[in-house]
Structure 1
Amino acid sequence: MAATVTTELNGVAPAFFLLLLAAAVASATAADVVELTLLAGAQEKGAVCLDGSPPGYHLQRGFGSGEHSWLVYLEGGAWCNTMESCSMRKRGVYGSSKFMKAAEFNGILSNDQQVNSDFYNWNKVAIRYCDGASFSGDAEAQDKDGSTLHFRGLRIWEAVVDELMEKGLATAKQAILSGCSAGGLAALLHCNDFHARFSKEVSAKCLPDAGFFLDTEDLSGERHMWSVFNGTVHLQNVSEVLPKDCLAKKDRTECFFPAELVKSITAPTFILNSAYDSWQVRNVVAPDGSFPGQSWSSCKTDIRNCSSAQIQVLNGFRNKFVDDIEVVNVNKDWGLFIDSCFIHCQTPYNISWSSQASPVLGGKTVAKAVGDWYFERSSEVKEIDCEYPCNPTCSSQLPT
Structure 2
Amino acid sequence: MASSRELRSPEPFLLLLLLLMAAVASSSAAAAAGNVVELTLLAGAQEKGAVCLDGSPPGYHLQRGFGSGEHSWLIFLEGGAWCNSIQSCSIRKMGVYGSSKFMKAAEFNGILSNDQQVNSDFYNWNKVVIRYCDGASFSGDAEAQDKDGSTLHFRGLRIWEAVVDELMEKGLATAKQAILSGCSAGGLAALLHCNDFHAKFPKEVSAKCLPDAGFFLDVEDLSGERHMWSVFNGTVHLQLYNAYSDFFFAFFYQNVKEVLPKSCLAKKDRTECFFPAELVKSITAPTLILNSAYDSWQIRNVVAPDGSFSGQSWSSCKTDIRNCSSTQIQVLNGFRNKFVDDVEVVKDNGGWGLFIDSCFTHCQTPFNFSWNSQASPVLGNKTIAKAVGDWYFERTYEVKEIDCEYPCNPTCSSQLPT
Q: TM-score range by the shorter chain?
A: over 0.9
1:100 aligns with 2:118: no
Give the AA of the match of 2:311. Answer: G
Give 1:176's aligned residue. Answer: 179
Identity among equivalent pairs (%) = 90
Determine the C-alpha separation between the residues in 1 that align with 2:416 and 2:233.
32
Q: What does 1:1-400 align with in structure 2 at a 5 Å threshold?
A: 29-237=32-240, 239-240=256-257, 241-400=259-418
Name the SS for the 2:118 alignment partner: coil
Could you list the runs of 4 or more consecutive aligned residues of structure 1 that deviate by over 4 angstroms after TM superposition?
none
Q: Could you state the TM-score of these two structures normalised by the residue count of structure 1?
A: 0.93
Determine the C-alpha separation between the residues in 1 that align with 2:83 and 2:414.
31
Give 1:23's aligned residue. Answer: none
Could you list the per-position Cα deviations for residues 70-117 of structure 1 after superposition, in whole angstroms to 9, with x for gaps in the alignment? Answer: 000000000000000000000000000000000000000000000000
Determine the C-alpha separation between the residues in 2 that align with 1:301 and 1:385.
22
Q: Could you state the TM-score of these two structures normalised by the residue count of structure 2?
A: 0.89
Determine the C-alpha separation between the residues in 1 that align with 2:141 and 2:312.
40
Could you list the per-position Cα deviations for residues 294-333 of structure 1 after superposition, in whole angstroms to 9, with x for gaps in the alignment? Answer: 0000001000000000000000000000000111001021
Give 1:6's aligned residue. Answer: none
Determine the C-alpha separation between the residues in 2 that align with 1:29 and 1:301.
32
Determine the C-alpha separation between the residues in 2 that align with 1:322 and 1:226.
19
CA RMSD of aligned residues (A): 0.9
- Report the Cα offset of residue 396 of structure 1: 1.0
Which consecutive unaligned segments of at least 5 residues does structure 2 have? 1-28, 242-255
Name the SS for the 1:113 alignment partner: coil
Name the SS for the 1:140 alignment partner: strand
Name the SS for the 2:211 alignment partner: strand
Give the AA of the match of 2:140. Answer: G
Could you list the per-position Cα deviations for residues 193-218 of structure 1 after superposition, in whole angstroms to 9, with x for gaps in the alignment? Answer: 00000000000000000000000000
- Report the Cα offset of residue 53 of structure 1: 0.1
- Report the Cα offset of residue 286 of structure 1: 0.2
Give the AA of the match of 1:350. Answer: N
- Report the Cα offset of residue 30 of structure 1: 1.4
Determine the C-alpha separation between the residues in 2 that align with 1:99 and 1:33.
17
Name the SS for the 2:291 alignment partner: strand
Which consecutive unaligned segments of at least 5 residues does structure 1 have? 1-25
- Report the Cα offset of residue 129 of structure 1: 0.0
Give the AA of the match of 1:138. Answer: D
Name the SS for the 2:318 alignment partner: helix
Determine the C-alpha separation between the residues in 1 that align with 2:267 and 2:357.
32
Determine the C-alpha separation between the residues in 1 that align with 2:198 and 2:215.
20
Determine the C-alpha separation between the residues in 2 that align with 1:380 and 1:157.
31
